[in-house]
């Protein structure tokens, strides 16, 4: 993220737009901002973060002019997060808060616990990868997760807490 921020060093409003675009998985190509194949209007993006639409247009133009930024933003994709709708599709969602998000292997340990219990994982997502100190693991699994499996997950090395969503 630091490499991106340096391109917006003296442009805080544009940095705010670029950050939102990354957070929402908006790509830039053909002179516009897209969420998947859907072109997002400058005005709609501006309203989302309370900036003038011209700031959004300037941000997109800036991204188009800087090869490093265009290389990144042309490859960004949005992704569905099932966590908030898990119960509506017969799934469970849990959020794992790590002791230290920079220590590798936590996701692997938790997925082994679920796999050994015969629980199918539909989705596993790490939230906010831009700020590793605040990253959480969100897992959406088929059906409900039994209490004894939740206890095993809580007992995995590196787990600070588990939140049922």
Predicted local confidence at residue 152, as pLDDT: 97
Q: Which helix (H) or strand (E) holds 119?
A: none
Q: Which CATH architecture has domain 83-164?
A: 2-Layer Sandwich (3.30)
DSSP code for 146: P
State the Cα torsion 138-44-47-51 to the nearest 10°: 100
This model's pTM is above 0.85: no
Stretch 36-59: mean pLDDT: 98
Domain locations along the chain: 2-73, 83-164
Stretch 102-116: mean pLDDT: 95
Task: Work out the pLDDT band at 128, boundaries 50, 70, 90.
Answer: low
Beta-bridge partner residues of 29: 32
Task: Work out the pLDDT band at 133, boundaries 50, 70, 90.
Answer: low
60-104, pLDDT tens digit by residue?
A: 999 999 999 999 999 999 999 999 999 999 999 999 999 998 889
How is residue 85 written in tokens? Answer: 């709708």
Residue 118 has pLDDT above 60, yes or no: yes
Collect all residues with Cβ–Cβ distance below 8 Å to 75 and sequence separation of at least 6. Answer: 27
Measured distance CA(154)–CA(23) in Å, rounded: 28
Cβ-based burial of 50 (10 A; exposed 0-12, middle 13-18, buried ≥19):
exposed
Residue 132 has pLDDT above 80, yes or no: no
Contact indicator for 69, 22 with CB cutoff of 8 Å: no
Cβ-based burial of 151 (10 A; exposed 0-12, middle 13-18, buried ≥19):
exposed
Residue 149 has pLDDT above 90, yes or no: yes
């Amino acid at each position: 993220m630091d490499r991106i921020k340096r391109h917006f060093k003296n442009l805080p409003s544009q940095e705010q737009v670029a950050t939102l675009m990354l957070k929402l998985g908006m790509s830039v190509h053909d002179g516009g901002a897209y969420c998947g194949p859907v072109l997002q209007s400058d005005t709609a993006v501006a309203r989302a973060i309370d900036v003038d639409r011209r700031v959004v247009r300037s941000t997109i133009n800036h991204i188009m002019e800087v090869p490093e930024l265009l290389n990144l933003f042309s490859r960004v994709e949005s992704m569905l997060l099932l966590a908030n709708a898990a119960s509506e599709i017969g799934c469970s969602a849990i959020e794992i808060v790590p002791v230290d998000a920079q220590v590798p292997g936590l996701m692997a340990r938790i997925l082994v616990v679920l796999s050994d219990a015969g629980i199918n994982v539909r989705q596993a997502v790490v939230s906010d990868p831009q700020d590793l100190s605040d990253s959480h693991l969100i897992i959406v699994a088929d059906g409900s997760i039994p209490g004894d499996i939740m206890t095993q997950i809580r007992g995995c090395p590196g787990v600070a807490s588990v939140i049922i969503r």
